[in-house]
Amino acid sequence: MCLFCKKGTKEYKDLESFGGFFCLRLYSRKFYLKPYNEFLDTYKELSLLEERNVLQSWCKSYKIDYKKLVQLLNKYKSVSEVVKERNDEYLKKHLSLDKLYLVEVF
């Protein structure tokens, strides 16, 4: 499902790509670092527009949903925290499973 509705701008294409990428299950920093860095310039540009209070006007002129764009920018900003949380969950799960296995083996 497309978060945005119109225009083939570079920002639009970048954000749509990152939106699809972010939905994937992320565990490896190696996996997310390259796409994350590719979208960094776009994120900085749009964040600057937001700081200057012109992002909403920019969205209006390109017919992009402002609220969804802000949600995506917030997701981008928190991607490393999300990956850390998922990694922690993954490790906890496997440590408990491995512990049970090792107890049974020995």
State the sign of the Cα–Cα–Cα–Cα dihedral 67, 72, 76, 82.
positive
**pLDDT, tens only, 70-100:** 888 888 888 778 778 877 887 888 788 777 7
Cα distances (Å, whole numbers) of residue 67 to 36, 50, 56: 21, 12, 9
**pLDDT, tens only, 3-60:** 444 555 666 666 666 666 555 554 566 777 777 888 888 889 999 999 999 999 999 9
Token pair belonging to 73: 């920018």
Whole-number pLDDT of residue 100? 72
Domain locations in the chain as residue ranges: 10-105
Residues with Cβ within 8 Å of residue 77, at least 6 apart in sequence: 43
